[in-house]
């Protein structure tokens, strides 16, 4: 696995720093930009880094932050506690994430990312995971990507594939995703 010098330069501009432990670009936007980098489980200095998929595209990171501020994680967490099928999907996504990371290097930990398997803690991780693996792998990540596209239509076809499922395709809506404290920004 490797990352081209051009992609490293682009991701450095996106992040405002050099990407650490970059193994490959796992998702490239429809407009051609690297947006998700697969990172080594251990950084070059030996520090464990359990985040396998790291979101680099500033359009997507900004939208993930807006969704977090608007309360999307709280509503997802509430659903996770009530919906056994959703909880089973999240557990399966967690196990797959660990298997993918451990295939590179086993850190000897059950921590994956984004709060999996029982908490919704970071939409950046869930969005990166869904974009890297596709819409069938992690339901809550797929929903977060769909909400990002619905909340910011300029992302569809530029940062997010036009054919990504919509919130309605997934049986939810933008209105249902935001808690009473949140608001569309």
Which of 132, 158, 145 lies closest to 31 in space, CA to CA? 158
Task: Provide the residue ranges of all domains of the chain, joining segments of one domain with +.
Answer: 1-179
Question: Do residues 164 and 145 make contact, with C-beta atoms less than 8 angstroms apart?
Answer: yes
- Predicted confidence pLDDT, tens digits, the chain (185 residues): 579 999 999 999 999 999 999 999 999 999 999 999 999 999 999 999 989 999 999 999 999 999 999 999 999 999 999 999 999 999 999 999 999 999 999 999 888 888 899 999 999 999 999 999 999 999 999 999 999 999 999 999 999 999 999 999 999 888 888 766 655 43
Please give the Cα distance from 124 to 69 (Å, whole number). 12
- Which pTM was predicted? 0.94
What is the rounded radius of gyration, in angstroms, for the C-alpha atoms of the chain?
16
């Amino acid at each position: 696995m490797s990352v081209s010098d051009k992609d490293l330069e682009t991701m450095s501009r996106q992040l405002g720093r050099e990407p650490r432990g970059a193994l490959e670009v796992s998702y490239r936007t429809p407009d051609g930009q690297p947006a998700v980098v697969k990172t080594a489980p251990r950084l070059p200095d030996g520090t464990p880094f359990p985040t396998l998929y790291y979101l680099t595209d500033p359009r997507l990171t900004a939208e993930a932050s807006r969704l977090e501020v608007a309360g999307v994680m709280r509503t997802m967490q509430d659903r996770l506690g009530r919906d056994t099928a959703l909880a089973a999907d999240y557990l399966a996504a967690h196990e797959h994430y660990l298997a993918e990371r451990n295939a590179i290097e086993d850190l000897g930990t059950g921590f994956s990312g984004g709060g999996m398997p029982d908490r919704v803690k970071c939409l950046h991780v869930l969005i990166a995971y869904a974009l890297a693996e596709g819409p069938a792998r992690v339901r809550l990540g797929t929903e977060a990507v769909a909400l990002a596209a619905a909340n910011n239509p300029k992302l569809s076809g530029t940062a997010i594939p036009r054919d990504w499922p919509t919130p309605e395709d997934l049986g939810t809506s933008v209105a249902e995703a935001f808690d009473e404290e949140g608001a569309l920004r």
